[in-house]
Structure 1
Amino acid sequence: MQILITHGSLARTRVLSFNRLQLAAALVGLVIVLMALSGTIYHAVFLKAAREGWPVVSQVVRLVVRDEFAQRDRFMRENLDAMAQKVGEMQAKLVRLEAMGERVSGLAGVKPEELRQMTAPPAKGGGQGGPFVPAKTPSMQQLNDLVTSLDSSADLNTDLFTLVESRLFERRLSSLMVPNSRPLNGPVGSGFGFRSDPFTSRAALHTGLDFPADTGTSIMAAAGGVVRSTDYHPAYGNLLEVDHGNGLVTRYAHTSRILVKAGDLVKRGQVVAEVGTTGRSTGPHLHFEVLVEGVPQDPAKFLAGKGNVPFDQADAGGTKGH
């Protein structure tokens, strides 16, 4: 590119030549100058116009500032919405913790009034004092850190409560597996121990409790467990055996009809059979036995207990019998 410069005082015309690189540099310089000029005009003129209330310029500046405030307000709302969502999630976790705490306290035997005493505010009255130190308003980052810390603590406490509740349920299930419920409502006709055999009149060990009842009377499971067998035995007649785990087995003998089959799960109080007089029996009754590791024990000790095995299984002994 060439530029010709002519003047009356000059003897000849001057010629200025520019290449593409020089033109590009000149254009960039012009853009920089215009940007700097526009910035100067904005700060020197528009801001002054906004402060002094110039008719046209102040309205333009007000629109620009309003747009900036709108963007800033939208950003704050988005952050507050995210914070509100986190707080809502924490509140839901705290509600679940409160419900779980009530269940766990009930299983552990903690009374509601004891919980109220633990959470009650300190009693008013008495001497109080100390310097007043006003709390500083936390920043957004501090709030985020606090929410994150509380969320982690809530998760940890939830896991802890779940573990404690699981252990307490295990203890409760263990007690439910102990045969301490009467299999039949009625008096005991013959207890555990030596007696005169009704057929031979000789002294013999009676290995259970006899419950006299009419044929067809319902027989209930003394505890939850798994049906071990439902076979016919020459001495016991129609015999039902229920395995309660930990070496505990209950027997229901001389039944007229068995209502469950081997492998069935039964719960405490479920009707599992009906009274009869099958096998070695002189009349309709239920012969009820409790065995620990195959050794007959006195069922009366279990029926009189409160859910715990009333003796050390390691010391269980005695004469085996039917």
Structure 2
Amino acid sequence: MTILRRWTLQLVRRDGRRVRSLSLSRARLLLSVAGTIIGLAGLGFLGGFLTASRAESRRVLELEAEVATLEGERERTNRLAGRLNELEEDFGLLQDAVTSGRPAESPPVNVVLGGGVEIRSRTSAEAATPAWPLTQRGFITRHFGSRPADSREGHTGLDIAVSTGSYVRAIQAGRVEAAGEDPIYGKFLRIAHADGLTSLYGHNAWLFAAAGDAVERLEVIALTGNTGRSSAPHLHLELARNGVLLDPLSLVADHSGRDSTGAPAERQPE
């Protein structure tokens, strides 16, 4: 014999005028309690899930901000790397220009490129006399005033054949009047000296001085090359006083064509 236990739940209004009775069986009560527990657990899980979602959303936003910052840093790094590559290429060109074509027995020159001065004891007479413009042995291929058979104009200066990358020196102290590139002279420098004298150095591969720079006697100002209207590497030296062209061999100290070691430079027939 099964005895069913039932509970009666009475709900009474505060004023006592109305009473409601609810009859509950044991099974129904248990189901209600279980449902309440499950509902509360579901609400707790949902609340935790919503809290975790909000935290995850904030973390995603923080990560996106970090990614944007890193992208900006990467772009700046790429720009810096590109600039570094350009500087390395420029340095490589300068290094190649300095080292290419120079014989192993080339005499040492005590200079600092781009503004240095060769330091050596010399008399005041030496300092006032225009010096030979090269440290390398060269060949005089064209003299001042020489004229090819197909030309009516005489040569305006002195052409000295020498390997590319040889040191070009200022023949005398002065200030650079012009520096740049010309269709005829190629990369050139023109220096104004005392007493209205000017010197021009043409067909260079590299220039170490710019317009307005002060230079000293025997300071390295360029490297020889084959730029402009030129058929082979050489230096074109052109001198003028007050606008009148002069024969460089009549003024330079080593007018015999001696190089820095004292050996005479060889000459080729015109």
Instruction: Report the TM-score range of the alignment, normalised by the length of the smaller protein.
Output: 0.3 to 0.5
TM value normalised by structure 2: 0.45
TM value normalised by structure 1: 0.38
**Larger relative strand fraction:** 2
**Larger relative helix fraction:** 1
Higher relative contact order (CA 8 A, sep 6+): 2
